[in-house]
Amino acid sequence: MLDFLGLKCYNIISIYGHFAQRIYLGGISMCKKIFVMLFIFFCMISLLNLNKASAAINVKPVVLSDGGGVCRHTYVNKALPKYIKSYATCTRPAVYYKSCSKCGARGTGTFTSGSALGHQLSTPRMASNLKSAATCTTPAVYYKYCLRCRQNVSVTFTYGKSLGHNYIENKNPKYIKSYATCENPAVYYKSCSRCGQKGTATFTSGEALGHELSMPRWGSNLKSAATCTNPAVYYKYCLRCRQNVDETFTYGKALGHEFGNGNECSRCGLKRVQEPEYTVRYIFGRPTSADLTWMSDDTWTVAERYTVVTAVPGEDGGGYTHGHTGSAITLTEHQAMYEAGLERGRQWAMEANSSEIVCLTLYSQAGEWGLGFIEGVYAANPELMPNLQVNLVSAMVYVPSAGIKSDPGSGRGRAWANRMQVYAAEGANFDVFYTTEGGVNNPDKTTQEAISSLGTGYSDNIRFHNLRVGHSYEDDWNQLENYSEIWNNDNLIQNR
């Protein structure tokens, strides 16, 4: 901008001196001379300051060939050391000032030349260049280090291996997989002790809560409706898990068969005529001689006969097939008879099953053996008492606790009544046959005492039958043999 003022100081002074001399010698007033001289002086000072300013901005005055004018710079890019502004680094190229192509003056503008040097990288593993320590899933990460610029760079490298998870059993709620239920304890995921990550492996804690059972009778928990032979069965219901459980309970009663006027149940289709099979063991006891009196200590025989009875369906309601085998025991003394029967009853109760029925038909002192047999069964297996049918013919002769009295009815009838009442309550059946008259020592007085002792409140399982008036052992036995209802035991078989 001030190229036209590019004059040297002595030229300015000589020029302004020349003009001052002319003014001083001119014909003007002194006052005007002083004013003009001051004006010229200040102009000279101003021109000198402008010349210094031009030199400060690298405007190099150039004396033209005719002695006047300045250089009009044309700046170009010359990468010479004298124009360097900053040397190349790892990340930036060298920077130069632009220079005038005419006079070589350095301008203020800059330009770059060449390329950045690039980092001279190394991989030290020091705390100062650690970016992140090793974790469960990643190795340690370090910044690389530049040996030229002596600082970490953004480029990283890994070293070593990841630590791996260390799974432990932590019962923090955030690791719960399933809460405790009625049947199962709470289940948790294992978790890492370092980073807290939830794993896939699980563990249990605590115990199952257990069912809180109730017994509603809803259609949704009905297992099986009541049938002819069974009451309704329901699943118990858990109030906690709100579902049926395997445990069941029954409610109400079986409906019972509905035969109507036919032979088939209208509900279940059961026919009246079934095909059960029973083994009936007939046991008979009588004196070996028909003319013995009840006080005699002569020989008595108890024989067993085994009969398999099969109900055969047919229009007439069925028939019976009989097969027989047998054995006998002969004893002479009252207590021995009782004890032998007691032992046989225990043996049978331990060997028999629910399909075998025993029919005892006992005359006179054979009742001692029969009483022992009944008590043996009762002691060994009371559940088999319903399988006993006892037919007594003047057989209430001896009871161990009552003994034998001079009067046949003295105490023994009451003792028999008490025992029959106990056994009948367990399901045993008694049919007692007696006569209304006889001699002084007539054993049927014991039967009459039993009837009197029982009164009217005895069980339906105890029945008394008056055979006739008068008394004869042989006649009693023969009449009993002809009494087919008891001998063949048809009613007993069909009712079971």
The helix/strand/coil state of 178 is strand
Read off the DSSP letter of residue 83. Answer: G
Binned at pLDDT 50, 70 and 90, residue 64 comes out as very low
Least confident residue range of 288-292, 311-315, 355-359, 372-376: 311-315
Q: How far apart are CA 366 and CA 480, in angstroms?
A: 15
Q: How far apart are CA 460 and CA 282, in angstroms?
A: 23
What pTM did the predictor assign? 0.40
Indicate if the pLDDT at residue 327 is higher than 50: no
Q: Can you give the pLDDT at residue 110?
A: 94
Helix (H) or strand (E) holding 335: helix 334-351
> Token pair for residue 242?
């709100």
Indicate if the pLDDT at residue 380 is higher than 90: yes
Read off the DSSP letter of residue 488. Answer: T
pLDDT in tens, 188-205: 999 999 999 999 999 999
Read off the DSSP letter of residue 264. Answer: B
Indicate if the pLDDT at residue 315 is higher than 70: no
Q: Can you give the pLDDT at residue 377?
A: 94
Binned at pLDDT 50, 70 and 90, residue 434 comes out as confident
Helix (H) or strand (E) holding 380: helix 366-380
Mean pLDDT, to the nearest integer, of 114-141? 92
Helices 334-351 & 366-380, crossing angle to 10 degrees?
Answer: 40
Mean pLDDT, to the nearest integer, of 440-447? 63
Neighbours of 80 (CB within 10 A): 12
Least confident residue range of 64-73, 89-98, 395-404, 427-436: 64-73
Distance between first and last Cα of the chain:
144
β-pair type (462-468, 429-435):
parallel
pLDDT in tens, 70-94: 889 999 999 999 999 999 999 899 9
Indicate if the pLDDT at residue 1 is higher than 50: no
Is residue 419 within 8 A of residue 378, CB to CB? The reply is no
> Token pair for residue 437?
């008259």
Is residue 202 within 8 A of residue 188, CB to CB? The reply is yes
